[in-house]
């Protein structure tokens, strides 16, 4: 981990709702009320030919709760899971259990961000309705060409 952005919130572009952590079955959800998050930014030792974004871990501030994207059947699932922060200090591609917490954050021309799972390539965080947050398979080229706001987030910073 190189640095972190503390006291931010992630707001969906299309519905102006915020990512939240507490829900049934450890599933993240969207709410009109923001929840403070911390983005832990990593430095990659090697880069792929296709730049997928900046490697980050999304932590709900003042907790051990993180967003995690895991493989499930032939797809992927997004959950909120507790993890020791020390375990996530260094993440390698060989450690799939830690890699599941890593996302690639990439910005659009308008300054919005989208988040792709590092473990499940092509799976992006999406708010599919007023409350449901999940990962959806969306080829990166199509995501860049089509401006689908349900995949894009604004980052808001708060002072203390």
CATH code (residue 95): 2.80.10.50
pLDDT reported for residue 93: 85
Selection from 154, 85, 157, 63 nearest residue 114 by Cα: 154
> Token pair 């996302």 is at which residue?
103
What Rg, from alpha-carbon coordinates, does the chain have? Answer: 14
Structural domain including 146 reads 3-157
For 124, the token pair is 């992006």
Domain count, the chain: 1
Against a cut of 0.85, is the pTM above it?
Answer: yes
Selection from 144, 57, 68 nearest residue 109 by Cα: 144
pLDDT along the chain (160 residues), means of 10: 87 90 84 94 74 91 95 94 91 90 89 92 90 86 65 85
């Amino acid at each position: 981990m190189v640095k972190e952005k503390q006291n931010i919130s992630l707001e969906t572009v299309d519905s102006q709702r915020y990512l939240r952590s507490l829900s049934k079955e450890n599933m993240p959800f969207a709410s009109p009320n923001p929840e403070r998050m911390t983005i832990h930014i990593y430095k990659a030792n090697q880069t792929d030919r296709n730049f997928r974004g900046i490697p980050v871990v999304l932590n709900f501030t003042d907790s051990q709760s993180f967003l995690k994207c895991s493989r499930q059947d032939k797809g992927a699932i997004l959950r909120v899971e507790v993890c020791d922060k020390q375990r996530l200090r260094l993440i390698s591609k060989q450690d799939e259990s830690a890699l599941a917490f890593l996302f690639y954050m990439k910005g659009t021309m308008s300054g919005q961000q989208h988040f792709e799972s590092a473990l499940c390539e092509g799976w992006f965080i999406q708010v599919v309705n007023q409350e449901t947050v999940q990962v959806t398979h969306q080829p990166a080229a199509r995501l860049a060409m089509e401006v689908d706001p349900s995949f894009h987030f604004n980052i808001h910073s708060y002072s203390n």
